[in-house]
Chain A
Amino acid sequence: MTAIETAGAPVRRLTWQVATVREIIVETPRVRSLMLHVRDWQRHRPGQRVDIRLTGEDGYQAQRSYSIASPPDDELLALTVERVERGEVSPYLVDDLGTGDQFELRGPIGGHFVWSVADGGPLCLVAGGSGIVPLMAMLRHRERNANRTPAILLYSSRSLEDIIYRQELDAMAARDLGLRVVHTLTRAQPIGWTGHRGRINRALLAETCFPPAQQPRIFVCGPAALVEDAARFLVELGHDPLAVKTERFGPSGG
């Protein structure tokens, strides 16, 4: 394998650490961000994730992976979690967890689906639903560094109220001419909605993403079907398959 960079993280054992919930942010009716204090947290790269482990009173344990929403330099580590109906871990994290509660976590994990300002651009981010989370870490990192890499976010949500980080994204785009945020709403649009409707298709990608000649760095994250389609369209539009990095959130028990 030649074209995929494998400049790896240093060998370091990933030990379980205790995370303490400092604040909970209600993002949408089904999504919350957990702002966590983790002592001696090792700096992560935007796009990486953590494993979390919950232990019940009877000793029962369950592990899941969650993307990190915060940029590397923030004091608190942010995980944004969507409640998966009939899931085991996410309903607990979204509905039951409170400020001051603790659980275990280890990471950061993943060295492929990552972007830092030093990697350059232009940057084309494509998200579906909670697939925005690792991409938000990239956008926040870009903004904290006052980085002017041209960037576009194409973000598909079910309805206006399901858009995660909507106000922050709007404010970010308003402050920064180099960033364009394009929403599409698939199930319900409010009266007077002038944005896009329906799923991300080839025409929308052609219209919003930078052309292949500009060699954009492309990150696609969301439900498996959206990622599968968007990645295929991007390749069909002429983008180098190796420039298209994907992360799929499967329906897998949450």
Chain B
Amino acid sequence: MDETPISRGFRSRRQEPNPAGRVPPGQYVTTDFPVLSAGPTPQIKVADWRLSLQLGGSLIGQWSWDEFEALPQTTLKTDIHCVTKWSKLDTTWRGVTFDDLLKAAGLAAPTARYVMAHSHGGYSTNLPVADLVGGKAMIATRYDGLPILPAHGGPARLLVPHLYFWKSAKWVQRLQFMDRDQPGFWESLGYHIYGDPWKEQRYDGD
């Protein structure tokens, strides 16, 4: 690697507060909520919505919208970090934690080490179970107190805020336990298999 070239005259023009210790390397703070999706936004009616929990090929839990809404609801205030470099601080989400979902399915403890999250529209992303339990992740249905807009993943999206935001799959419909880790959609296209923003794990090999 050559010496890092210096851009003379280039300096920070940050308009947004950038509190120390809250913004991972290579990220900047935005107050917008940019939308990034690989295809059209699926229009999903809550009347048709189902969330399924799968172990291998078999169904071990399924909830309709009303059943899901009757599960214990948790509010989570957290920062989110997109691999395209923006971070957004103090976002407020409400939904059902992965722990409560397991409880509702009658599972004392997860039976596999990994999960593939499948979404309407063909998207998928892989996650270690350890990153979903202990209050670290939820299926969110509200953002800032309102139903999540379709473009942002509504009616329900995964929220795993300590990983890059592509792991927080929009339009999630099925969580499938897997014994071995397998790459999802972006992970098959050069993105990092795990995606820790604090280690700047954006792409394969980072």
Contacts and interface: CB of A to CB of B under 8 A. Distances in A.
Interface of A: 1-4, 6, 8-9, 11-16, 18, 51, 53-58, 60-65, 86-88, 91-92, 96-97, 101-104, 109-113, 224, 228, 231-232, 234-235, 241-242, 244-248, 250-253
B199 to A, nearest CB: 14
A155 B41 CA distance: 21
Given A8-B189, A241-B40, A1 B204 contact: no
B166 to A, nearest CB: 12
A60 to B, nearest CB: 5
Nearest first, the 9 closest Cβ-Cβ pairs linking A and B are A250-B34, A13-B205, A111-B189, A102-B5, A231-B40, A6-B188, A252-B34, A56-B10, A88-B13
A234 B40 CA distance: 9
A86 B10 CA distance: 14
B4 interface: yes
A109 B86 contact: no
A252 B30 contact: yes
What's the dominant secondary structure at chain B's contact region?
A: loop
B74 interface: no
24 contacts: A6-B183, A12-B205, A13-B204, A14-B203, A14-B205, A15-B1, A55-B6, A57-B10, A62-B28, A63-B26, A63-B85, A92-B10, A96-B9, A104-B5, A231-B40, A241-B40, A242-B121, A248-B34, A248-B36, A248-B37, A250-B32, A250-B86, A252-B84, A253-B16
A14 B204 contact: yes
Contacts of B37: 246, 248
A250 B36 contact: yes
B49 interface: no
A111 B12 CA distance: 31
A224 B35 contact: yes
A240 B206 CA distance: 35
A244 B188 CA distance: 19
A13 B7 CA distance: 25
Interface string B25-52: 0101010101111111111000000000
Contact of A18 (B2, B16, B206): B2
Nearest to B29: A253
Contacts of B84: 65, 252
B7 A246 contact: no
Contacts of A103: 5, 7
B180 interface: no
Given A13-B204, A58-B11, A231-B40, A88 B2 contact: no
Given A54-B7, A104-B4, A6 B189 contact: yes
A242 B4 CA distance: 41
B167 interface: no
Most buried by A among B5, B118, B123: B5
A243 to B, nearest CB: 9
B124 interface: yes
B15 interface: yes
Contacts of B202: 51
B39 A246 contact: yes
Most buried by B among A6, A60, A110, A252: A252
B153 to A, nearest CB: 13
B135 interface: no
